[in-house]
Amino acid sequence: MMQRDNFISVSEKLSICVIEFVFYSFIGWLYETILTTAVWGHFADRGILHIPICPIYGFCSLALILIFGKLKSVPVIFILGTFLTTAAELAASYVLELFTDERLWDYDNWHFNFQGRIALGSSIIFGILCVILIKLLHPLAVKICGEISGKALKIIAFALLIFIIGDLLWVIL
């Protein structure tokens, strides 16, 4: 997995997970912010924290990597990814509405939507993003992390984790 040697410790694996979580959460924030800004015609920060991340993208990306990481077939990744991410988006819409008392997105104006919570168009986009994640982003992240020493990985991951926890506490307190 890593270029420096064939053995990496559990703490290094966890560090890589934290770094990838933050990377995918940022990519998700970027995607959401650009898309929403384009649709609404004005800047729309889609994060729930002060830092530019959408944690749902990080969690879902890591889960998708665990599920699809060994798959080679792009059509299989696309189809399964489309179904899983659509289910995750639907579940997240209910959970987030429960905790925030508001709908954070609305697909009512999209064709083939369900309660404005999910839509065929967004599901297809997420399927494509699954393929990009598995075939491009994850291998790139592994390669980059493979170039970093184990100690540096742990320091970076710890700093990111403290930063995110601090921001989360700032938001909820």
Whether residue 118 is contained in a domain is answered as yes
pLDDT of residue 138: 95
Question: What CA–CA distances, in Å, run from 48 to 55, 56, 101?
Answer: 9, 10, 14
Q: Give the count of beta carbons closer than 10 Å to the beta carbon of residue 32.
A: 19
Nearest CA-CA partner of 33 in 48, 22, 52, 46: 46
pLDDT of residue 105: 86
Whether residue 79 is contained in a domain is answered as yes
How many folded domains does the chain comprise? 1
Whether residue 5 is contained in a domain is answered as no
- Distance CA(96)–CA(104), nearest Å, equals 8
pLDDT of residue 6: 58
What is residue 49's three-state secondary structure? Answer: coil
Whether residue 65 is contained in a domain is answered as yes
What pTM did the predictor assign?
A: 0.85
Whether residue 1 is contained in a domain is answered as no
Q: In a structure prediction context, what are the per-residue pLDDT tens digits for the chain, which is 173 residues long?
A: 444 445 778 999 999 999 999 999 999 999 989 988 888 888 887 777 788 999 989 999 999 999 998 899 999 999 999 999 999 999 999 998 998 888 878 899 999 999 999 999 999 999 999 999 999 999 999 999 989 998 999 999 999 999 999 998 998 88
Whether residue 160 is contained in a domain is answered as yes
Whether residue 137 is contained in a domain is answered as yes
DSSP one-letter code for 101: S
Range of the domain at 59: 10-172
pLDDT of residue 84: 95
